[in-house]
Amino acid sequence: MSGREVRLLERELARADLARVESPIVAEELIKEGFPPDRVVTASPGVDVERFAPGARPDRLRVAFVGVLSLWKGVDVLVRLARKLAPAGEVVVVGGPVCPWSRRLVSEAPLRQHPGDIPSLLASSHALVLPSATDGFGLVVLEAMAAGAVPFVSPEVGAAAIVRRLDPRLVQPRSEFAEVV
């Protein structure tokens, strides 16, 4: 964000009666920055369950990743996981690298680009991984759950609050993510 955008956002928040956020992580950040806690409402988004529905899965383990292949999205963790899964399983991605570092890392990794759309990838995947360093929510986590894919996320993903209720083992720190997942 530019300085101008930050100032505009700060003015907007100062005038707001209420701030609706999608995750406890974002609520905590707002409160930490001085927004009154009694004016923060956490409401997770919903998912179109007609569009995101379970489908046929291959015999070979398929793990999905949706997002830009960048450091803040955990591309380094994703590459480690792909190497650990190969050849018994595969990591299939929708998204591409965003900088020379991530392009180099991805070029040397056993990642497969998905030729179709996100709903078809999730419908055909056993799991979804989102090892982000920061993520306000991560709607793809709910989409994966609707499609029947097991979500594995880092604690920094806003949707971790929901995933943790399914099973705390589905939320793993980035430092151990590839090894545990």
Amino acid at 43: A
Q: Model's pTM, two decimal places? A: 0.82
Band of residue 6 on the pLDDT scale cut at 50, 70, 90: confident
- Residue 31 CA to residue 19 CA, distance in Å, equals 10
pLDDT given for residue 10 in this prediction:
83
Nearest one of 127, 119, 12, 153 to 60, comparing CA atoms: 127
Amino acid at 153: V
The Cα-based distances of 137 to 3, 93, 101, 116 in angstroms read 24, 19, 25, 24
Residue carrying the six token digits 């480690």: 80
Is 1's pLDDT higher than 80?
Answer: no
Q: Give the ranges where the chain is alpha helix by DSSP (H).
A: 3-15, 24-32, 75-85, 100-107, 118-123, 139-146, 160-166, 177-180
The Cα-based distances of 153 to 69, 76, 134, 160, 174 in angstroms read 15, 14, 11, 6, 9
- Residue 144 CA to residue 122 CA, distance in Å, equals 6
Band of residue 14 on the pLDDT scale cut at 50, 70, 90: confident
Q: pLDDT by residue (tens digit) across 23-75?
A: 888 888 889 988 899 999 988 788 999 999 999 999 999 999 999 999 999 99
